[in-house]
Structure 1
């Protein structure tokens, strides 16, 4: 007997585990624990909204990725955003205003979306948008940042709005991090971590997993140092190659199985930290979660895209609502044609099937 996969139940269970883990990770910080306990209630309310929408034949994902700027102060090796020209050095053209982003955040909250990942470029360039996000406590906003702009002024903002959670990008220890992100970046990261630990600000780390750093970033030495620095959340993000030359760095089946096994061990050993793998095992989640199944992406000028690695859009939230964007023809075609369920080598199915995605965009 084959059991039918329940996506809403799977996603809701994942959200609840993240919230429970975050509460456990902040028990030593009363202010953060109180906020997370309050947020747990908001998360349950969001789950109810999504469940009701599901009964009405409408699927609402719990996550949104918002790239709030195209500018960045670093030039990291292998950056997909620069290769896709989603990240440039010139001044952004037609980027959404802080008020437009706030409207998007409020619409998302009302639909039942409980996590909005802020990305870029370097999102901390847009302090106006981050401030607007802080004013919506029903949503957790992980800020995926290179960490070089965290200063005393930002600490004041982060202490005021506990729903803003900086997630600092790190590639391993100093040699690996500086090799990819630039000389001296590792030291800036450790200084930012020290500042946040001193001020009891909840923060995490984002690790781009490659064949070159897999064993280092899952080692006891690396994780012990993160724990000592005050890190409470670790995102493992599989590297997606954007050039043929970088293909050898992309984790394959063997590396993903290794990461999966290591994560089971790590979660047992570090009970005061939360570990999240992305995209993780797509077989467990019934296929790729992009294009509105589990999340979708809004770029800096409002284009609704399946995910950051698949920068195609047929609808702009500047001209429409978040709900309408979720029902875009492109998203519907991707789901109807079962592109999200197709077998692939790993990493991102939509990146591997980009020609097929481009063809669906024309339908």
Structure 2
């Protein structure tokens, strides 16, 4: 029986699909710095089966499949690429059903919905969760469309976890998301807590909110509001409408990292800092090594932030798509840096974009304003130059033993293509 710590106690997590099971596996994955934790994600049997399937099919199979059911959203957040997208791109229920069926055959059991706003497709999401009851689902949502009826469904189906977006207290959240958003989000959290539904939060941190979102005061507030886990993502300047002033400075990024690491250790609470925990995930996890992304147009992208592809799920099945030329080319370039504090080919090691752009038939999948990799490089190269000395210092502070462990596990986890 698994256990999960939460504000005020410790709960047994049943072995069958359950909305808190996803929280448990997420917490273990980002602490997988030894074999026990690595196998604990889904058990030794699953870990070995996954390796066998990789060698059988000849390509890497992700732990997690991230899917955008729609590009539509009920908010228009400042600097968000989804705000630029048309609202008409959707994956049909039939296509989503097909993708999930194929994912199960490949041994993928964790699915995350994002967008857009996935709850614009509320009924389809619930029906997919019910039909594919052996899968564990999660979704990144602004939460505003969660009402009492949906909360009751959420508690009933038991295999869907929600991560609610928030960016600080009222002033900071409403700054990007619109006036009144904070109050609506807190009302939803109170509703879920009243029904004893475990949920998580998702924070986009940027130049205007790093201090607040990493403070004990704010993190304590979210836990008291009922959150069981938290994800943090640094602002990525994707698309031609990106606001470069929102990119966190090196000192701000380091502040978030150090505070988050301290808080989760002190409070025994799982916080996942996507940009700064490369030393736990052993580098970039994109392009099927640990996760893969399908946008609302059906394009298979290496990552939700990496808007380039040579493959579309409307013309081929998932198995074929995961072994595409671009996915293989992307995986062969890894690691993008020997420093796990610089894992990302967008923000940390943009030199990789030059090599990645050489793969034939790769196109921009940004749904509104296509952006060449060369254009992206010009935006993020100065950021990486400023971050590098800070990243090098953080890496040195890990110690020789930890650095050797990272190198060893990176080789073990990195599936080598046939």
- What is the deviation of 1:28? 5.5
Q: How does 1:288-299 map to 2 (within 5 A)?
A: 288-299=284-295
Find out whether 1:43 has 2:24 as its counterpart: no
Q: Spell out, residue by residue over 1:294-344, the C-alpha distance to the aligned partner (whole angstroms, 9 max, x if none).
A: 211101132111112222222222332222111111111222344844889
Match of 1:102 in 2: 97
Q: Secondary structure at the match of 1:236?
A: strand
- What is the deviation of 1:31? 9.0
Q: Of residues 162, 166, 175 in structure 1, which corresponds to 2:158?
A: 162
Match of 2:77 in 1: 76
Q: Spell out, residue by residue over 1:207-260, the C-alpha distance to the aligned partner (whole angstroms, 9 max, x if none).
A: 001132112111111011111111111101111123597334323543333333
The answer on whether the counterparts of 2:81 and 2:242 sit within 8 Å (CA) in structure 1 is no
- What is the deviation of 1:43? 2.9
Find out whether 1:251 has 2:248 as its counterpart: yes
Change in CA separation of 1:281 and 1:42 when aligned onto 2, cut-off 3 Å: closer
Alpha-carbon distance in structure 1 between the residues aligned to 2:52 and 2:6: 31
The answer on whether the counterparts of 1:350 and 1:357 sit within 8 Å (CA) in structure 2 is no
Alpha-carbon distance in structure 2 between the residues aligned to 1:345 and 1:241: 19
Match of 1:187 in 2: 183
Task: Give the TM-score, by structure 2 length.
Answer: 0.71
Match of 1:25 in 2: 6
Match of 1:88 in 2: 86
Alpha-carbon distance in structure 2 between the residues aligned to 1:47 and 1:313: 28
Find out whether 1:63 has 2:64 as its counterpart: yes
Change in CA separation of 1:59 and 1:118 when aligned onto 2, cut-off 3 Å: same
Q: Spell out, residue by residue over 1:79-104, the C-alpha distance to the aligned partner (whole angstroms, 9 max, x if none).
A: 02234xxx324x33xx3221221221
Change in CA separation of 1:241 and 1:223 when aligned onto 2, cut-off 3 Å: same
The answer on whether the counterparts of 1:80 and 1:309 sit within 8 Å (CA) in structure 2 is no
Q: Of residues 258, 261, 265 in structure 1, which corresponds to 2:262?
A: 265
The answer on whether the counterparts of 1:67 and 1:300 sit within 8 Å (CA) in structure 2 is yes
Q: How does 1:207-286 map to 2 (within 5 A)?
A: 207-242=203-238, 246-271=243-268, 273-282=269-278, 285-286=281-282
Change in CA separation of 1:251 and 1:284 when aligned onto 2, cut-off 3 Å: farther
- What is the deviation of 1:154? 0.8
Corresponding pairs, count: 337
The answer on whether the counterparts of 2:63 and 2:108 sit within 8 Å (CA) in structure 1 is yes
Match of 2:169 in 1: 173
Match of 1:112 in 2: 107
Moved more, 187-196 or 124-133: 124-133
- What is the deviation of 1:71? 0.4
Q: Secondary structure at the match of 1:275?
A: strand
Match of 2:387 in 1: none
Change in CA separation of 1:185 and 1:346 when aligned onto 2, cut-off 3 Å: farther
Alpha-carbon distance in structure 2 between the residues aligned to 1:269 and 1:124: 34
Moved more, 135-144 or 216-225: 135-144
Q: Secondary structure at the match of 1:142?
A: strand
- What is the deviation of 1:26? 8.7
Match of 1:132 in 2: 127
Match of 2:381 in 1: none
Change in CA separation of 1:346 and 1:81 when aligned onto 2, cut-off 3 Å: farther
The answer on whether the counterparts of 2:59 and 2:322 sit within 8 Å (CA) in structure 1 is no
Q: Of residues 301, 309, 314 in structure 1, which corresponds to 2:310?
A: 314
Change in CA separation of 1:28 and 1:138 when aligned onto 2, cut-off 3 Å: farther
Alpha-carbon distance in structure 1 between the residues aligned to 2:91 and 2:81: 21
Q: Unpaired segments of 5 or more residues in structure 1? A: 1-18
Change in CA separation of 1:114 and 1:184 when aligned onto 2, cut-off 3 Å: same
Match of 1:121 in 2: 116
